[in-house]
Amino acid sequence: MPTIVLANPKGGCGKSTTALILGQILAREVPTAIIDADPNQPISTWAAAGCSPDNLMVIRNQSVETLLDEIDEASDTHKFVIVDLEGVASRALSYAVTRAHLTIIPMQKSRPDADMAGKAIRAIRIEEKARRARIPFAIAFTKTRVVAESKTAQRIATDVRSTGLDIVGVELHQRDAFAAIFDLGCTLFALDPKRVNNIDAAINNAEMFTGDLVTRFMKTVRSAAA
């Protein structure tokens, strides 16, 4: 079953938030697992609040040695497996991308994020060479402004697009609701509109983003079957 890995050695670019958003949207339809492979365990901490829906299992990674087994076991019982990695270039990143049907490299439209996304891509290329196999990956712009994007952000996005790399068609916007799920320890669907702004717009953005990824998997399955 499809495994999605969130990888970027840049801290704070939105890996865990993207993982949790994807997990919450997918779990409304199908059994979904998130493997929390960040030693800081942000998603396990979120789940410990008791807010995780029945269809969403959060698995705390035990060690880099067990990561591949954990991914394989979760794939046997869940329709989607999402792996959230630590914000460093690690052995876990190298291992996890070899199991990924798609590695998402979240990045803000900033120069440090773009540089570190390049580092993630180089790590993927090395694994491709080692295994003589293609490892599919796509960049996802995260924490983007809904209006009035800065000139610098526009320039960086143009630079990234000019590389010809695959980029997820929907950006994850900077939204109060996306930060609030961690702060309040709940799902997007349980947020209180009195405490959080524009919840519906955030859910719509999360659904569009997830839909874009699901469409990619369907295309992959169709072309494999053709």
Ligand X SMILES: Nc1ncnc2c1ncn2[C@@H]1O[C@H](COP(=O)(O)OP(=O)(O)OP(=O)(O)O)[C@@H](O)[C@H]1O
Spatial strand order in the sheet of 80-85: 56-60, 32-37, 80-85, 3-6, 102-107, 137-144, 172-173
Which amino acid is it at 55? N
Indicate which single residue of 3, 8, 16, 18 sits in contact with Mg ion (rule: CB under 5 A).
Answer: 16
Handedness of CA 74, 59, 25, 102 (dihedral sign): negative
CB closer to Mg ion, 27 vs 34? 34
Indicate which single residue of 10, 15, 78, 99 sits in contact with Mg ion (rule: CB under 5 A).
Answer: 15
Indicate which single residue of 61, 142, 187, 210 sits in contact with ligand X (rule: CB under 6 A).
Answer: 142
Q: In the window 30-89, what residues touch Mg ion (CB under 5 A)?
A: 38
Query: Does 108 help bind Mg ion (rule: CB under 5 A)?
Result: no
In this structure, what are the phi and psi dihedrals at residue 28, rounded to the nearest 5 degrees?
A: -70, -25
Query: Can you tell me the distance from the alpha carbon of 163 to that of 152, in angstroms, rounded to the nearest whole number?
Result: 17
Indicate which single residue of 4, 5, 7, 13 sits in contact with ligand X (rule: CB under 6 A).
Answer: 13
Indicate which single residue of 67, 83, 172, 191 sits in contact with ligand X (rule: CB under 6 A).
Answer: 172
Q: Which residue is nearest to Mg ion (CB)?
A: 16
Q: How far is the CB of 69 from ligand X (least distance, A)?
A: 23
Contact by Cβ (8 Å): 126, 92: no
- Positions touching Mg ion (CB under 5 A) are 15-16, 38
